Amino acid sequence: MLHMDRSVFREAGLLTGASLRSLDALHIAAALQASANEFITYDPRQQAAAEAVGLRLRAPGRS
């Protein structure tokens, strides 16, 4: 678990993308703050935003 301090919320607010939803932005910001090795999502909008900030994506079970 990651402590959600103001810096995570601030970073989420800086993420761009017209279709990026607030909770998706928080998940991406938390992954960045935690220096995550991988980011797992099946949501195409979240995938695009995560890739844009350099996160390595995985979608287990999909080819």
Coil, helix or strand at residue 57:
strand
Predicted TM-score (pTM) of this structure: 0.84
Give me the residue spans of the domains in the chain: 6-58
* Nearest-angstrom CA–CA distance, 2 and 49: 20
Q: Read off φ and ψ for residue 42, nearest 5 degrees.
A: -115, 5
Task: State the CB neighbour count (10 A cutoff) for residue 32.
Answer: 18
pLDDT in tens, 9-61: 999 988 877 678 999 999 999 999 999 989 999 998 899 999 999 999 988 88
Written as six digits, the tokens of 26 are: 């928080």
For strands 57-58 and 39-40, give the pairing.
parallel
